[in-house]
Amino acid sequence: DIQMTQSPSSLSVSVGDRVTITCRASQSISTSLNWYQQKPGKAPKVLISGASTLQSGVPSRFSGSGSGTDFTLTITSLQPEDFATYYCQQSYGTARYTFGQGTKLEIK
Amino acid sequence: EVRLVESGGGLIQPGGSLRLSCAASGFIFSRSSMNWVRQAPGKGLEWVSYISSSGPTTDYADSVKGRFTISRDNAKNSLYLQMNSLRAEDTAVYYCARELYFGDKNWFDSWGQGTRVTVSS
C-alpha cells in the first residue's frame, strides 16, 4: 500500500501568516493527491484535488502543488476560519486511498 | 443538494456485530463509487472500504479485511457496512463519502455527518 507522510503534525501560527504543509508519498502517485480540511466535530471538506485544482468555493489563499512523491499545501495570509486540521490523501489507482496523519493548525 | 446520512452506530461489545447504513440523496447514486472512512477518537482519518458504482468491485483496508463487508442497494440509494468480530480498535466515527471523478483524478467530494461506533465491554 502507498504510505503518506505529512508534516508537520502541528503548527502554531498567527492570523496573516503564510502556512506550508508537506505530504510525501511512498511511491510516485503522479498528481493523484487531494487535500482536506476538517474542523472539530465536522466531516472533512475537500479543498484541492489533483494536487493543484482548487475546489469550487474554496478561497484562493489556498493552493496546492507537487507531483510524483512530494506535495505542498500553502495557505497565504491565514484567516481565523482556517484554524483546523488538514489531511492529504492519495487517490492513485482504485481504492486503498490512504490519508496522511494530519496537520493541526493552532493559534499562536 | 448531495446528502449522505449515516446511521446504525452505537455501543457494542467486543466480538459483536453492527451494520452501518448510509442513505444518499440529491444525486444519481447508482453512478457513484462510495467509500467508508473512519476516525478514531483524537486520531486521523483512515480509509476503510470502497465499492464501485454497480457493486462488483470492493476493497478493504488490511485492518478490517475479513471482518467488514461493504455493500450497496442502488434501488434504495443506500450504502452499507457490515462489521463483524468488532474490536476495541474499531471504535471510531464512521463516515460514508462519495467519490467523484474528473478525467483521471478522483476525490471524496461529499461526506455524511458520521455515525459513532464504540466497541467496549
Residue B97: predicted pLDDT: 98
Residue A24 CA neighbour count, 13 Å, CB half: 4
Phi, psi of B31 (to 5 degrees): -100, 0
Residue B55 has a pLDDT of 76
Residue by residue, pLDDT tens for chain A (108 residues) are 899 999 999 999 999 999 999 999 999 999 999 999 999 999 999 999 999 999 999 999 999 999 999 999 999 999 999 999 999 999 998 888 999 999 999 988
pLDDT at B99 over 80: yes
- Answer whether A49's CB lies under 8 Å from A55's CB: yes
Give chain A positions within 8 Å (CB) of B111. 43-45
The Cα–Cα gap between B85 and B119 comes to: 10
Q: A10 to chain B, minimum CA–CA distance in Å?
A: 12
Considering only the beta carbons, identify the residue of A46, A85, A100 that sits closest to B108.
A46
Distance from CA of B4 to the nearest CA of A (A): 11
CA distance A71 to A64: 7
Strand partners, A24: A5, A70
- DSSP conformational letter for A26: S
Interface test with A, best of B51, B94, B108, B113 (most A CBs within 10 A): B108
Check residue B54 and give its pLDDT: 83
Task: Specify the pLDDT at position B50.
Answer: 97
pLDDT bucket at B59, cuts 50 / 70 / 90: very high
State the average pLDDT over residues B52-73: 94
